[in-house]
């Protein structure tokens, strides 16, 4: 993936400004003015592409400050080797949590617990040689009420009844869950094997933390020395564009996955598309680029620094 990005930058002759944080964006006459850690930038057009996963979030569990072990967010997890021989609680049931739990199990961690608050939808990476994303995309046109019963039957056929292992039935169907909450299904081939072979134990959600362990919602206590919080990220756009009127009441950008928000401000990669974010970005990027080019061709604004950011 890194090689692909490096090659893309070279082929497209893109000038990168690395290590430059955008602190705020506002309007300056007919231009956009960006306050950055490297100074001010003025531009006719700006594309917001920080995505859904900008800032790691860790729940404020009671007693968290008293914990004497290690707390690591999934965004800072690089590999499982530092945790060999240590007891680890992974909090979350999404793809990051599943991948981390499997890596820990394969790399010699001690006891591994997976704390699940909301039961996830568990799917295979591929079905009959086809990636699961393809089937989700094929179902994108149909309402959740028609699709979800079919998906539920397929999930039961894939895994059987997993309630004895701690994975209970999700509160809503797969497509309804994506549409209503933005939570995507968990690719669980390796995770289910690790759970069934007792290398990973599924437990209840975290209720509180004490100095050397975690108290669960069912009253049980986990004596862990490491908490890995696969608890998600925030778009965290309020500080950057919160005063521009482009966010809704939930702090999300108005306009959908890829759009011209207005006055030369564009956005791509926000929200949960049915066909997976990377594929959706690829499909949306060229039409959005054409829209940006059309805007720049008709806009007569001249900025001190005249370029696209």
pLDDT tens readout for residues 85-132: 999 999 999 999 999 999 999 999 999 999 999 999 999 988 778 787
CB atoms within 10 A of CB 169: 13
Tokens of 66: 């008293």
User: What pLDDT score was predicted for residue 304?
Assistant: 55
The CA distance from 100 to 204, in Å, is 18
User: What pLDDT score was predicted for residue 133?
Assistant: 75
User: Does the fold of domain 55-233 match that of domain 2-53+235-298?
Assistant: yes
Residue-range domain boundaries for the chain: 2-53+235-298, 55-233
- Could you read off the pLDDT of 244-286 as tens digits, one per residue? 999 988 888 888 889 999 999 999 998 777 666 788 898 999 9
Q: Is 257 left (phi over 0), alpha (psi -120 to 50) or beta?
A: alpha
Fold of 2-53+235-298: FAD/NAD(P)-binding domain (3.50.50)
- Could you read off the pLDDT of 37-55 as tens digits, one per residue? 999 999 999 999 998 888 9
CB atoms within 10 A of CB 207: 17
CATH architecture of 55-233: 3-Layer(bba) Sandwich (3.50)
The CA distance from 102 to 104, in Å, is 5
Torsion angle, alpha carbons of 240, 264, 41, 309, to 10: 90
Confidence of residue 135 (pLDDT cuts 50, 70, 90): confident
pLDDT at 309 over 80: no
User: What pLDDT score was predicted for residue 179?
Assistant: 82
- Could you read off the pLDDT of 161-210 as tens digits, one per residue? 999 999 999 999 988 988 888 788 999 999 999 999 999 999 999 999 99
User: What pLDDT score was predicted for residue 227?
Assistant: 98
Looking at residue 142, the DSSP 8-state letter turns out to be: S
Q: Are 275 and 132 in contact (CB under 8 A)?
A: no
Q: Are 213 and 223 in contact (CB under 8 A)?
A: yes
The CA distance from 50 to 179, in Å, is 21
Confidence of residue 302 (pLDDT cuts 50, 70, 90): low
- Could you read off the pLDDT of 1-12 as tens digits, one per residue? 899 999 999 999
Q: Are 181 and 192 in contact (CB under 8 A)?
A: no
User: What pLDDT score was predicted for residue 274?
Assistant: 63
């Amino acid at each position: 993936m890194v090689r692909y990005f490096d090659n893309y930058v070279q082929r497209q002759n893109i000038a990168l400004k690395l290590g430059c944080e955008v602190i705020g964006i506002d309007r300056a006459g007919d231009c956009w003015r960006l306050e950055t850690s490297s100074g001010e930038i003025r531009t006719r057009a700006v594309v917001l592409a920080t995505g859904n996963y900008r800032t790691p979030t860790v729940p404020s569990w009671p007693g968290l400050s008293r914990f004497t072990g290690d707390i690591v967010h999934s965004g800072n997890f690089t590999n499982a080797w530092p945790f060999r021989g240590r007891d680890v609680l992974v909090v979350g049931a999404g793809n990051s949590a599943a991948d981390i739990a499997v890596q820990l199990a394969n790399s010699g961690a001690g006891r591994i617990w997976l704390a699940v608050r909301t039961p996830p939808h568990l799917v295979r990476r591929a079905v009959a040689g086809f990636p699961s994303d393809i089937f989700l995309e094929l179902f994108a046109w149909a309402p959740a009420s028609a699709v979800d019963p079919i998906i539920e039957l397929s999930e039961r056929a894939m895994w059987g009844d997993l309630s004895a292992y701690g994975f209970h039935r999700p509160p809503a169907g797969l497509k309804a869950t994506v549409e209503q909450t933005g939570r995507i299904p968990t690719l669980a081939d390796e995770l289910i094997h690790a759970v069934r072979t007792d290398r990973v134990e599924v437990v209840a959600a975290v209720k509180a933390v004490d100095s050397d362990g975690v108290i669960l919602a069912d009253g049980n206590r986990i004596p862990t020395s490491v908490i890995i919080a696969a608890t998600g990220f925030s778009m965290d756009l309020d500080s950057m564009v919160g005063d521009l009127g482009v966010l809704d009441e939930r702090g999300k950008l108005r306009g959908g996955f890829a759009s011209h928000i207005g006055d030369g401000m564009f956005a791509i990669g926000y929200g949960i598309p049915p066909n997976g974010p990377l594929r959706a970005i690829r499909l949306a990027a060229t039409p959005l680029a054409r829209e940006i080019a059309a805007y720049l061709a008709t806009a007569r604004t001249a900025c001190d620094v005249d370029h696209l950011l």
